[in-house]
Amino acid sequence: MIFWEIAKRNIRLHFLRSTLAMLGIVIGVVAIASMGILGNSLVATVSDSLSSVGDSVIVFPYAGGGGGFGGGGGSSENMKITDQQFQQIKRAVAPSVAIPVLSTSERMKVGVGGDDIVASVYGVDPKYLPDLNFELSAGSLNNANSGCLVGSAFAKDNNIKVGSRISMGTDGSKGTLRVTGIIKERGMSFDISTDNAVIATQAWFENTYKTENYDEVVVKVKSGQDTADVKVVIEKQLNKRDKVVSVMDSKATLASIYETFGAVTTFVTAIGGISMVVAGVSIFNIMMMSVNERVKEIGIMRSIGTQKKEVMSMFVYEAAIIGVIGSAVGGILSLVAGYAISALMLQSTKYLFTFATAFSVFEGVGFGIVVCLACGLYPAWQAANLNPIDALRHE
């Protein structure tokens, strides 16, 4: 159509001005889209490093009160969960499984002449291992009394294979454990962080460290039960008189982490949005200029039979061309910018080519086009509604 042609030619005639307006839109789109990409990559990075804990509730001894039992205050045995408390938890959460976990950190040595290393040591009864859903990269769960499982990072760093022996304690004072299985990388976890740990049996742990009380209880919530409900039940049962345990709901914690990141992403995207507003103002400005310098032309068009909506379309096309080209260029550049930011800030670009990235770019491009059209609409409307007689007389 002829008005499309006129719009194109007018942009070409005012090439510099149009290019500058496009540049504004490009910057706006890049700001919004690349911030979106950064936010998405950030969330992806975090969720990748957190293990898929599933639905679990973790019970820790309450650290703040100084101890309600025996009033001893400060003794480390008071900062544990007793077997009696564990039984209470177990009954309260049924049919979900409550798993008592012992933990400490220990000095150890792998092989002859190896360096001393320090790692976490957990004591878990082998009968609960299936409930913890460990995936093994080698070996088996079959955990004999002096056997242990090790995490992937720990195994890799210390060159451990199934069958390797680890002498525990300074100079092997705590005996030797034989590795029966290696657990795949799980990332940071709320219950048991296995990646850099040794998982021994409960019996070995109790024998070695002469303890009967637990450091935490992991409750694997069965489907059909709600983690929030389980948390409440446990708190009701154990914290009747005094607060003796703190209970963490993995799902709620995860949700609040994501919520925080979501808020951060929204915030930085909104900052990007400011540059889009500025771009919109410049589009508005050049469209007003375009209308004002063509008042006479509009008058001629109207007098020889051009409808209002046709005049309007001519200016809307002009804004649309600037918007679509600017946004498209911005979309492409935002991938580049997203790549650069991800590489610099997260040291990783593996989260770049995802649906979330595509959505961020789409969002930026879409917003750019909408802003251009919105800012072109009023000038176009003004042009269409000029009085043809006055417009004709305009010099």
Partner 1 sequence: MLFQDVAKVYPLPAGDVRALDGVSFQVDRGEFISVMGPSGSGKSTLLNLMGCLDTPTEGDIYISGTRIGDMSDAELTSLRRDRIGFIFQYFNLFPLLNIIENVTFPMMLKTGKGVDPERGREVLRAVQLDDSLFTHTPTELSGGQQQRVAVARALINNPDILLCDEPTGNLDSRTGAGIMDLMTELNRNGTTIIMVTHDPHIAEYSRRTIRISDGRIVS
Residues that bind partner 1 (CB under 8 A): 1-2, 5-6, 9-10, 13, 296-297, 300-308, 310, 388-389, 392
**Which lies closer to partner 1 via its Cβ, residue 9 or residue 236?**
9
Q: Judge contact between 216 and 101, C-beta under 8 A.
A: yes
**Which lies closer to partner 1 via its Cβ, residue 5 or residue 242?**
5
**Which of these, 1, 16, 2, 21, lies nearest to 321 by C-alpha position?**
21
E strand intervals along the chain: 56-61, 97-110, 116-124, 136-139, 147-151, 165-168, 176-183, 197-201, 216-220, 245-249
**Which lies closer to partner 1 via its Cβ, residue 10 or residue 152?**
10
Taking the complex as a whole, how short is the minimal distance between the CB of residue 1 and partner 1, in angstroms?
7
Kindly give the pairing relationship between strand 136-139 and strand 197-201: unpaired
**Which lies closer to partner 1 via its Cβ, residue 70 or residue 305?**
305
**Which lies closer to partner 1 via its Cβ, residue 11 or residue 183?**
11
User: Measured on CA atoms in the order 230, 235, 236, 237, is the torsion positive or negative?
Assistant: positive
Q: Write the CB contacts of 229 (distance below 8 Å, at least 6 apart in sequence).
A: none
| DSSP 8-class letter at 69 | S
Taking the complex as a whole, how short is the minimal distance between the CB of residue 393 and partner 1, in angstroms?
9
Helix (H, G, I), strand (E, B) or coil at 394: coil
Q: Locate 207 and state its tokens.
A: 């024998």
**Which lies closer to partner 1 via its Cβ, residue 216 or residue 297?**
297
Taking the complex as a whole, how short is the minimal distance between the CB of residue 382 and partner 1, in angstroms?
15
For the chain, give the longest Cα–Cα distance. 104
**Which of these, 122, 163, 158, lies nearest to 139 by C-alpha position?**
163
ω into 379 cis (within 30 of 0): no
Q: Judge contact between 117 and 226, C-beta under 8 A.
A: no
Taking the complex as a whole, how short is the minimal distance between the CB of residue 28 and partner 1, in angstroms?
29
Directed axis angle between helix 295-303 and helix 250-292, to 10°? Answer: 80
> What does the radius of gyration of the chain's CA atoms come to, in whole angstroms?
33
**Which lies closer to partner 1 via its Cβ, residue 235 or residue 310?**
310
**Which lies closer to partner 1 via its Cβ, residue 6 or residue 57?**
6
Let me know how long the chain is.
Answer: 395
Helix (H, G, I), strand (E, B) or coil at 367: helix
Taking the complex as a whole, how short is the minimal distance between the CB of residue 274 and partner 1, in angstroms?
35
Taking the complex as a whole, how short is the minimal distance between the CB of residue 363 and partner 1, in angstroms?
35
Kindly give the pairing relationship between strand 116-124 and strand 97-110: antiparallel
**What is the Cα 114 distance to its own chain's centre?**
39
Taking the complex as a whole, how short is the minimal distance between the CB of residue 372 and partner 1, in angstroms?
21
Taking the complex as a whole, how short is the minimal distance between the CB of residue 328 and partner 1, in angstroms?
24
Taking the complex as a whole, how short is the minimal distance between the CB of residue 266 and partner 1, in angstroms?
44
**Which lies closer to partner 1 via its Cβ, residue 283 or residue 384?**
384
